Amino acid sequence: MPITEERQTIQELRAAGFSEEQALLLAAKLEATAQATSQDLKGFIKAELGKLMAELDKRFADVDQRFVELEARFETRLAGMEARLAGMEARFEHALRVQLAAILTAFVGVTGLAVALIKLLP
């Protein structure tokens, strides 16, 4: 407690009937108690803040782990989708080749037929 408050406390104790020695001793004990309480409170706050920070770190670690798991699931699904897309692309290319072969076969057949008709006609 500031010196002005200590003097005021001593004066009030003296006015209440305490001797000079009793008032000084009581004021000193009050100051010591106030300082000890302040230190206890600071220690308590630091301890509680430490606990809260540890809990917060644990929660962040949990969230980080969940993100890692989600990323792994996403990568797995993405790989599956890429494989399916590659399979679809291969089937599309095969179907395109079959259709082109059919068109080319029809074109050659029609051309051969046209040439044969031209040769038969005078």
Express each pLDDT in 66-121 by its tens digit: 999 999 999 999 999 999 999 999 999 999 999 999 999 999 999 999 999 999 88
Q: Is 18 in a helix, a strand, or coil?
A: coil
Structural domain span for residue 14 = 3-120
Give the end-to-end CA distance of the chain in Å, rounded to a whole number: 132
The residue behind tokens 């031209």 is 118
Q: With 0.75 as the threshold, say if the pTM is over it.
A: no
Tally of domains within the chain: 1
Distance of CA 68 to the CA centre of its chain: 10
